[in-house]
Amino acid sequence: MKPTIEAKIVVLGAQGAGKTSLVLRHMNKSQFSSAVSPTIGASFFTSRMTVDVDRVKLQLWDTAGQERFRSMAPMYYRNANAALIVYDITAADTFEAVASWVAELRQNVDYKMVLCLIGNKVDLEDRRVVTKRAGQEYANSIDASFFETSALGNICVHEAFLQVALDLIECERRAHPERFVPGAAGAGDESETDSRRGSNADGGALALAGGAGRDETDGESGESKCC
């Protein structure tokens, strides 16, 4: 049996962008909670996904967006393989803050990471102030994939996490091609998630090194095809 690819993912963004709601929706697709308290420091979740024959274990670090916790964020970047950067399409300041999160990542991480930019709350389309084009153009400028999502409506949430998993698989494939059968990775199956918080790594897992993301990934840095 092929070992599980294990990766650390940090979820970043301004307070109120909906980071925790996105993670919780990914972990439990059938439920949405409107009573989510602001994150203090960071919350940790473990998600397991199967993408064709490849198994991926994502260690999700949902960081606090409040300014008073901002100084703590860099400690969670250590050895991270990917970052989801979330903004609220109805709040321009959350989109403007994305650049500072990206700059902080680059100051603290000296290798190439998988990046995914997420414009959240598309269920509030009538209150949109950040255009989809603006989000896509900025994602292109930082070599990130781009999705517009709704945690409330469960729109494109799975697709965003799946794309991150695919990009991580591609990084591992480039770093260790001998571990992959040609054509093994492709479109994703439905994810299998483990909602246990603070779970330890399984035996036999193949952890991506902190620098594994140095390799460029193939394919377009894509706009969501589902929305």
The number of domains in the chain is 1
Q: Which domain holds residue 28?
A: 5-214
The CATH number of whichever domain residue 146 belongs to comes to 3.40.50.300
Do residues 94 and 16 touch, judged by C-beta distance below 8 A? yes
Residue 31 lies in a domain: yes
Contact 206, 175 (CB under 8 A): no
Kindly report the backbone phi and psi dihedral angles of residue 156, in degrees, each rounded to the nearest multiple of 5, phi listed first.
65, 15
Show the tokens assigned to 2: 């092929």
Assessment of whether the complete model's pTM goes beyond 0.85: no
pLDDT tens digits in sequence order for the chain, 227 residues long: 677 899 999 999 988 898 888 988 898 765 655 545 454 455 778 889 888 889 999 999 887 655 544 566 677 788 899 999 999 999 999 999 999 999 989 988 988 899 999 999 999 999 999 999 999 999 999 999 999 999 999 999 999 999 999 999 999 888 888 777 554 434 443 444 333 333 223 333 445 544 433 222 233 333 333 43
Domain membership of residue 184 (yes or no) is yes
**Burial per residue of 79-99, b for 16 or more beta-carbon CB atoms within 10 angstroms, e otherwise:** ebbbbbbbbbbbbeebbebbe
Is 78 inside any structural domain?
Answer: yes
